[in-house]
Amino acid sequence: MSTIVTTVLTISGITGLLALLLSVANKTIANYGEKKILINGSKELVVEGGDTLLSALIDQKVFIPSACGGKGSCGYCKVTVTQGGGEILATELGYVTPKEREEGVRLSCQCKVREDMQIQIPEELFSVKQYDYHVAFIKDLTPTIKHLRLELPEKEEIEFKAGQYVQILAPKYKGSDEEVYRAYSIASSPMDTKAVELYIGYVKEGKATTYVHNFLKEKMKLTVVGPYGDFFYQDSNREMVMVAIGTGMAPIMSILKYMRSNNIQRKVTFYFGARTAEDLFEMDTLEQLQKDLPNFKLVTCLSKPTEKCNWSGEVGRVTDMLQKYLTDASGAEAYLCGSPVMVDSVIPILKDKGMPEEHIYYDKFE
């Protein structure tokens, strides 16, 4: 018994010593001091060195998009580094193409600020802001999807394009010892500048979705950053083909509501897929949109209906529906939202139907 106790105490002592050494190292060896970041040749920031470029910019209220919360797994946080930043890391190579690498493109969540840097970012990111919303309502759409309406304080407004997204900041909670940003598409109309609505599906062990589904309550505050994204409604006269599964409906819903508010009468077909009838949601809203938009048609399908579903509608995947109903797509444009697998499976079908690739717009939900 005494041997076990001695061993435990020895291991604890070694662990404590290592923690102390790491702490000292962070304050001495890794102390890079103040560094300068010059953005687009005009805006200069002074930051504490040693942190990631993404974190350093966020601290200065310059919000670079990051759907994975800085974990290096989404590739959204790309910036062009023209000076400083060191060599590109192995963790970046899967998201930076050889051509982008030659141009100095880096993942800001992986690139460390250890020297003065010069970077280039899209000018529109300077208009991205942080807002403190309060939760007007949070309700169940399906057993795994929550519908949130977040409202701004008086005298504050948000401007966004139909189809764009925001990032929410999930605070620390029991089971999560860190704050994390996660991206969610806006489901409400951009005409409503005082609020945003979101559809948030539960992801097992997802820190933000767990917070929303298990801890967030009505009247609580929620920090939101945005808007972001180059996926949004395109002003043209082309026929519109929309395809989504699950929470991919969110940006489609925003676009449809925008069209209704502005009396846009373009022909549009929305192919929406789910596994079972239990996974279908917002059907009442979509039926009303069909009444308000005479040229709007909804096609729903279930990939795995059960007897309990009592389903008499289309059976199959959205790709099956496109093959069945879409003929000549040469004069149309597409809006695709959902998993990468779904999006990647739809694009070849649209191209085979004659749709030019430059008219295919998509948002892959990682």
Domain boundary among 228, 249, 273: 228
Quote the pLDDT of residue 17: 52
Please report which confidence band the pLDDT of residue 187 belongs to, taking 50, 70 and 90 as the band edges.
Answer: very high
pLDDT tens for 296-312 read: 999 999 999 998 889 99
Determine contact, residues 301/321, Cβ cutoff 8 Å.
Answer: yes
Quote the pLDDT of residue 179: 87
Average model confidence (pLDDT) for the chain? 90
Instruction: Tell me if 350 is assigned to some domain.
Output: yes
Q: Is the pLDDT of residue 177 over 70?
A: yes
Q: Is the pLDDT of residue 68 over 90?
A: no
Domain boundary among 125, 142, 177: 125
Work out the percent of the chain whose per-residue pLDDT is above 70.
91
Instruction: Tell me if 2 is assigned to some domain.
Output: no
pLDDT tens for 303-354 read: 999 988 899 999 999 999 999 999 999 999 999 999 999 999 999 999 999 9
pLDDT tens for 190-220 read: 999 999 999 999 999 889 999 999 999 999 9
Domain boundaries, position 345: 239-364
Q: What is d(CA 301, CA 313) in angstroms, rounded to the nearest whole number?
A: 7
pLDDT tens for 6-51 read: 443 454 455 445 544 544 454 445 567 899 999 999 999 999 999 9
Domain identity same for 114 and 200: no
- Number of independent structural domains in the chain: 3
pLDDT tens for 46-66 read: 999 999 999 999 999 999 988
Instruction: Tell me if 20 is assigned to some domain.
Output: no
Q: What is d(CA 197, CA 188) in angstroms, rounded to the nearest whole number?
A: 5
Domain identity same for 115 and 135: no
Instruction: Tell me if 15 is assigned to some domain.
Output: no
CATH, residue 46: 3.10.20.30
Domain boundary among 68, 97, 125: 125
Q: What is d(CA 358, CA 236) in angstroms, rounded to the nearest whole number?
A: 13
Token readout for 301 is 């399908």
Token readout for 149 is 């309406």
CA 155 to chain centre: 27
pLDDT tens for 137-153 read: 999 999 999 999 999 98
Quote the pLDDT of residue 4: 47
Q: Is the pLDDT of residue 240 over 50?
A: yes
The reported pTM is 0.84
Instruction: Tell me if 14 is assigned to some domain.
Output: no
Regarding beta strands 180-185 and 296-302, do their DSSP bridges make them parallel or antiparallel, or are they unpaired? Answer: unpaired
Arithmetic mean of pLDDT, 221-247: 95
Distances (CA, A) of 364 to 25, 75, 115, 304, 345: 40, 12, 34, 23, 12
Please report which confidence band the pLDDT of residue 71 belongs to, taking 50, 70 and 90 as the band edges.
Answer: confident
Quote the pLDDT of residue 23: 43
CATH, residue 274: 3.40.50.80
Domain identity same for 191 and 291: no
CATH, residue 158: 2.40.30.10
